[in-house]
Amino acid sequence: MTSSQNTPPAIRIDSQFDSGNIEVLSVDGATARLAIPHDHMSEFRQWFHFRVSGAAGRELVLKIVDLETSAYPAGWPGYRACVSEDRDFWGRADSEYDAKADGGTLTIRYTPASDLAWFAYFAPYSMERHHDLVSEAAASEGVSYRALGTTLDGQTIDCLELGEGDKQVWLYARQHPGESMAEWWMEGALECLTDPADPIGRALRQRCRFHIVPNCNPDGSRRGHLRTNAVGTNLNREWETPSADKSPEVLAIRNAMDATGVDFAMDVHGDEAIPAVFLAGFEGIPSWTDDLGDKYYRYRAILERRTPDFQTAKGYAVSKPGTANLSMSTNQLAERFGACSMTLEMPFKDNDDLPDAEQGWSPERCQILGRDCLASLLEWLDEGN
């Protein structure tokens, strides 16, 4: 028998599936050199999602290169790639970042027990799972469904509505499709709100009318984009002047908000670089008042008290008076409706305040945080809002 017959075949890497995204530069045995393609018609690139086959019992060495020119180079130091063999449980693989190697290289090492291993920037939330989530919620008692509009790829912008109260609450997620933790959060929130035995959900349904958009950007989600829709538009920079040709998603959602009004809004996201959960508010809007600002600060204080997964020390810089970017949804809704609006950010990395060596920040923690955010909303309402 020749030595070549003793050599295991090279691994196979593919990404032609829902939210898949990787470029294979070379493969040598169980080692591969990879790159992340740009979002279509955009300079953003950071999201990866691919499958490795022929891997059982072999140490995979996967090198993703040229990351110093990715969208958020600060997202790679301290980051560990997500990995799954059953696409149900997502753990973390040993990962190391070298900014000086090959334009910035993330080296992922993992030895799978089975023949297939899946790797992603964060645990993916597929469009098929999205449809399951929407259908299950829509079948729950007291929930109505409506299509707000259609995307450029012809997908539907799904909205779920429930509750008998007079407070108009909008929850919306995945304006940036690669921030898949946002829809895991939505799954936890919807489980709370649609469970007839859940006391938090029951009380909130009595007080509020909920309008929930679990995925604002289905085109980008399916295409495997980090931050943009089918034509390279960053939806969270379109809220001042959305258009049917560039941002029909925002146009449809904002029109629906105009019809209902907005009292409270949460825009759910993920942050590449900051290893913490935090909120961003609307400081700097032209119509800022201390009374409106206090509503936001009180909600933030309640959430910090309710869960150790949330903190207020780390986050974004606060805008100076009159300098808020009104093309971002949180600022636009506060200015447009006088709403207590906010952006929730979760980490792609771990939560350094409460680290988990096996999973880092995980889908399970996103779901729990969704419930904690709703419990905080109920307490906030009980304080007289």
Q: How many residues does the chain have?
A: 385
Catalytic (active site) residue 345: yes
Give the Cα separation of 129 and 135 in Å (integer).
Answer: 10
Tell me the backbone φ, ψ of residue 98, rounded to 5 degrees: -125, 105
β-bridge pairing 144-150 and 156-162: antiparallel
Give the Cα separation of 39 and 30 in Å (integer).
Answer: 28
Tell me the backbone φ, ψ of residue 272, rounded to 5 degrees: -70, -35
> Could you say which of 179, 191, 283, 345 is catalytic?
345
Residue 206: exposure state from Cβ atoms within 10 A (0-12, 13-18, ≥19)? exposed
Give the Cα separation of 174 and 185 in Å (integer).
Answer: 10
User: Residues 82, 120: contact at Cβ < 8 Å?
Assistant: yes
Q: What is the CA radius of gyration of the chain?
A: 21
Residue 342 Rama label (left phi>0; alpha psi -120 to 50; beta): beta
β-bridge pairing 82-84 and 264-271: unpaired
Residues noted as catalytic: 345
